[in-house]
Amino acid sequence: MPSYTSPHASRPGDVAGTLKLLAWLVLAIALIVLDHRGGWLAQLRHRAVAVVQPLWWLAGMPARIGDTLSESAATRNHLASENRVLRNALLVSGARVARLQAASAENAHLRELLGAARRNGGLDVQLAPVLDVDLDPTRQRLLLDAGTRDGVSLGQAVIDAGGLVGQIISVQAGTATVLLLTDPDHAVPVMVARSGVRLLAYGSGRSDRLALANVPLSADVRVGDVVLTSGLGGRFPAGFPVGTIVALHPDDSHAFLVGDVRPAARLDRGRDVLLLREQATR
Amino acid sequence: MSRNSPGWVMPASLLAALLLGLLPLPVPLQPYRPYWLALVMVYWLIEAPDRFGLGFAFLSGVLADLCFGTVLGEQALRLTVMAFIVQRFRAQLRFFPLSQQALAIAGLLLNDRVVVAVVHLALDEPQPPLAAWWSPLVGMVLWGPVFLLLDRLRLGGRK
């Protein structure tokens, strides 16, 4: 195949090109270091994210449209049968609720008798839809379709039906970013439900694992134990399920144990999460 | 030739590439997602080198970093490296038949995966799943359609 450029003609251009490459590379690396280490760019990033917000909204649109279509395409027959099933389920749930109400009333009564510290009874939560967008899969983040406009604030704990999901790390007008429990940068103070041993659960970067580090050999911790938030540190309220211990093994020094925890929350599925309004510090 | 291409095609292709990158995919498919932005960028570097250079690659990379929530500068670095290689071999790439071009693109994208691995290693961030190494192949297959579509849009506007 004939060469369309003579190799000598582009020499001076090559040098200039390489210099330009170096300049841009240095700029890129400076950005990476600033963003990764210093976090000086946080403010700038915060502003700029407002610009790309519509893009996120747009990218989530096909999923939303798909949902709407599949819902409206359901046939009458299907709806009728679904209706019947739901009616049944409602009856059963109604019965359960009645029982729970009785239990709750009894519970409240007992609490009063015990003179327990006054707690506000129901959790004050807010439902927030997950914006259907993949942020970088190697970082464990979630984008919510709710922001300062909806009263979301920085540091709020996020839960789902299973347990703790994470915390809000940045809020814009219409969206908020959740740092999941499983992000390598995340740690949550926990306590073993059975024995009360206090530990720290770190994110592992995988959505189905948390890591317990530095568990003393003598600590009363077993495989199968449920861990709850301990409420220490004031960021998360106490008593929310974090996960179940699935494995314990000695660490490299054989002085401590490390544990694997399966998160209780379903971090990789579900369309909605709950934001806790209740302040952890009372 | 590039002087006559309609002005909206480049921003539109960039926007489409960003949207395709953000579009939710089933979890098992995610690692195979091709690097759309790279495909689009390489096209513009090959076809309109007098307008799009390293600066263009850098800026679209920063924009992508903002969109995808990656460390600011990561994709800027990746795209700048890729743009540089494309510029060096533009003369050859331009006259390759489409199939050979696609092979070259696969090479570029594979090199890009290496850059990603190095960046993540340097930052002590978790590595992308192993399956992500297949995404250059997906990119290679898609190069033909992307190239033809963009060519049609760019030249179709010229009356």
pLDDT tens-digit readout, A87-133:
888 888 888 888 888 888 877 767 665 653 344 445 677 888 888 77
- pLDDT, position A206: 81
pLDDT at B40: 93
For chain A, the 3-state helix, strand and coil shares in percent, each to the nearest 5, are 35, 25, 40
* Model confidence pLDDT, tens digit, residues A223-254: 999 999 988 888 888 888 899 999 998 888 88
Per-residue confidence (pLDDT) for residue A43, from 0 to 100? 72
Q: What is the ipTM of this complex?
A: 0.77
The answer to whether A184 contacts chain B (CB < 8 Å) is yes
B72/chain A closest Cα distance in angstroms: 5
* Angle, CA of A46, A52 and A55, to the nearest 5°: 150
- Find the closest chain A residue to B58 by CA distance: A24
Q: Chain B interface, mutation test: which of A31, A140, A208, most B Cβ atoms within 10 Å?
A: A31
Asked whether residue B96 carries a pLDDT value surpassing 70, the answer given is yes
Q: How far is CA B74 from CA A142, B54, B131, in A?
A: 20, 15, 20
Q: Average pLDDT of A131-142?
A: 76
Q: Choose the closest CB to B95 out of A4, A62, A205.
A: A4
HEC string of A234-261 equals: CCCCCCCEEEEEEEEEECCCCCEEEEEE
Q: Do B74 and A32 touch (CB under 8 A)?
A: yes
Short-list A259, A263, A181, A198, CA closest to A223: A259
Q: What is the pLDDT of residue A119?
A: 41
| Residues comprising chain A, all counted | 282
Torsions phi, psi for A90 (to 5 deg): -65, -40
Give residue B1's pLDDT band: very low, low, confident or very high (50, 70, 90).
very low
Residues 107-126 of B with CB under 8 A from A: 119-120, 123, 125-126
Torsion of CA B61, B66, B72, B78, to 10 degrees: -20
Structure confidence at residue A245 (pLDDT): 93
CB–CB contact B73 A135 (8 Å) = no
How far apart, in whole angstroms, are the C-alpha atoms of residue A278 and residue A171?
Answer: 18
Q: Is the pTM of this model over 0.90?
A: no
CB-CB contact of A200 with A170 (8 Å): no
Give me the pLDDT at residue A112, please.
63
DSSP letter for A130, please. Answer: B
Is residue A280 predicted with pLDDT exceeding 60? no
Contact A45 B66 (CB under 8 A): yes
Residue A6 contacts B where some CB pair is shorter than 8 Å: no
* Distance separating alpha carbons of residues B140 and B113, to the nearest angstrom: 14
Quick one: CA dihedral A66, A67, A69, A73, positive or negative?
positive
- For residues A63-70, average pLDDT: 80
Q: Are the Cβ atoms of B22 and A205 closer than 8 angstroms?
A: no
pLDDT, one tens digit per residue, over B48-57 is 888 888 888 9
A234: left (phi over 0), alpha (psi -120 to 50) or beta: left
Identify the pLDDT of residue A122: 54
Judged by average pLDDT, the poorest of A113-117, A210-214, B150-154 is A113-117
- Among B107, B21, B68, B115, smallest CA distance to A29 is for B115
β-bridge partners, A258: A249
The mean predicted confidence, pLDDT, of chain A is 80
Query: What distance in Å separates the CA atoms of residue B154 and residue B149, rounded to the nearest whole number?
Result: 9
How far apart, in whole angstroms, are the C-alpha atoms of residue A229 and residue A237? 7
User: What tokens does B127 get?
Assistant: 């590595």
pLDDT at B39 over 90: yes
pLDDT at A201: 92
Q: What angle do CA B119, B121, B124 make, to 5 degrees?
A: 110
* Residue B75 structure tokens: 């994709």
Whether the pLDDT of residue A163 is over 80: the answer is: yes
- Predicted local confidence at residue B77, as pLDDT: 92
What residue has token string 């544990």? A259
Is residue A173 less than 8 Å (CB to CB) from chain B? no
